[in-house]
Amino acid sequence: MPIPQQLGRGDKMGRGPYEKSGIIRDNGLPPNRPVQENFEIPYPAEYLKKDGKSVTNILDHEMTVDIELIYMPFGEKDSGITWHKVTKKITLEKGGV
């Protein structure tokens, strides 16, 4: 969204159109330019010490992630419109060294 500058001065965002003049920054999607977003999500795990060594006990090797692109005209998810939704199952290998 183009973040409007309040009355064309300073670093504050304007509220209604009556006090918006200028743009502080735009955090929206620019046309025809790829925008990447990365998310790192930890799996549920217990971190233990065994014989003086760190041991990770992974509680679930599978994770299902819903990724949604939601347009929120009023800044609230509940009143938003889902444009895209992708569900991915992400699996960790078992075993290994």
Partner 1 sequence: MRVVTTAAVMALLALPLLTPLPGQTASVEGRKARTIDELAKMYDSTGCKECHEEIYKDWEKSLHAKSIYGTGRTAATIKTTITVGLMGWKHSGVKKPEDVENRHLAICTKCHLPQLADATDDVAKEIVRNVNIFMDPKSGDDARNKAEQQLIKVSINCLVCHQRNAITHKWVDGFPQKNEVYGSKEGSHPDPGHPVMKKSPIMSESILCGQCHGLGPNFELENPSQCGTLYGSYLWAYRAEGGQESCQECHMKKSKLGHNMQSYNDLNMGKSAVDFQVETLGYIWRDGSKMMPQALVKIEMINRAGHSIPDG
φ, ψ of residue 88 to 5 degrees: the values are: -125, 135
Judge residue 4's burial from the number of C-beta atoms within 10 Å of its C-beta, 0-12 exposed, 13-18 middle, 19 or more buried: buried
> Contacts with partner 1: how many residues (CB under 8 A)?
54
Judged by CB under 8 A, does residue 40 bind partner 1?
yes
Q: Could you tell me the smallest distance in angstroms from the CB atom of residue 78 to partner 1?
A: 16
Q: Could you tell me the smallest distance in angstroms from the CB atom of residue 27 to partner 1?
A: 10
Judged by CB under 8 A, does residue 18 bind partner 1?
yes
d(CA 21, CA 24): 10
Q: What is the CA radius of gyration of the chain?
A: 22
Applying CB under 8 A, the residues found at the interface with partner 1 are 1-2, 4, 8, 14-23, 26, 28-43, 45, 47, 53-54, 56, 58, 61, 63, 65, 67, 69, 71, 73, 81, 83-84, 86, 88, 90-93, 96
